[in-house]
């Protein structure tokens, strides 16, 4: 009877160790999956669209890069930005996103004469 008890105890411990290992692996897999999913939803590439209005929050130097803030229902989003015509855009300037390429929004000031003319034409 002693042999049977030792064997049963070893089998029970082995089963417990396997169950604990599987639980640990499942928890690790779930954690990694959530981290990857969060990283993908924080990527502004999928949320920056041409025509969106934004505000310059870090001055865009001539031929340089700055930062813009885009308002949204989930809270503000931030993206790197360059001026479409390589002009300096001061902090606080309202801009329009022209395109989004390689992680950088290309913007222009929001109120240009062509915008005013287009708005006047649409009102007439």
For the stretch 2-24, pLDDT in tens is 556 777 888 888 888 999 999 99
pLDDT at 35 over 70: yes
Is the confidence at residue 118, as pLDDT, over 60?
A: no
Parallel, antiparallel or unpaired: strands 104-109 and 94-101: antiparallel
For residue 33, the enclosing domain spans: 1-42
What average pLDDT does this structure show over 58-63?
A: 92
Q: Does pLDDT of 70 surpass 80?
A: yes
CATH number at residue 108: 2.40.50.140
The number of distinct structural domains making up the chain is 2
pLDDT for position 113: 59
Same domain, 8 and 52: no
What rounded mean pLDDT belongs to the chain?
A: 80
When pLDDT is averaged across residues 51-68 and rounded to a whole number, the result is 92
CB distance 81 to 63 below 8 Å: no
39 vs 102, residue with greater confidence: 102
Answer yes or no: do 18 and 62 share one domain.
Answer: no
Residues 32 and 70 in one domain: no
Identify whether residues 33 and 90 lie together within a single domain. no
Question: What percent of the chain is predicted at pLDDT more than 70?
Answer: 77
Same domain, 33 and 57: no
What is the C-alpha to C-alpha distance for residues 17 and 24, in angstroms, rounded to an integer? 11
Same-domain pairing of 56 and 33: no
Angle CA 13–18–21, to nearest 5: 125
């Amino acid at each position: 009877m002693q042999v049977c008890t030792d064997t049963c105890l070893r089998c029970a411990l082995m089963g417990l160790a396997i169950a604990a290992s599987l639980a640990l692996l499942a928890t690790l897999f779930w954690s990694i999956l959530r981290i990857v999913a969060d990283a993908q939803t924080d990527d502004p590439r999928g949320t920056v669209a041409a025509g969106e209005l934004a505000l310059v929050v870090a001055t865009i130097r001539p031929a340089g890069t700055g930062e813009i803030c885009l308002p949204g229902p989930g809270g503000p989003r931030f993206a790197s930005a360059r001026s479409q015509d390589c002009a300096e855009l001061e902090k606080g300037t309202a801009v329009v996103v022209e395109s989004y390429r390689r992680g950088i929004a290309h913007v222009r000031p929001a109120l240009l004469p062509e915008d005013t003319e287009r708005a006047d034409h649409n009102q007439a």
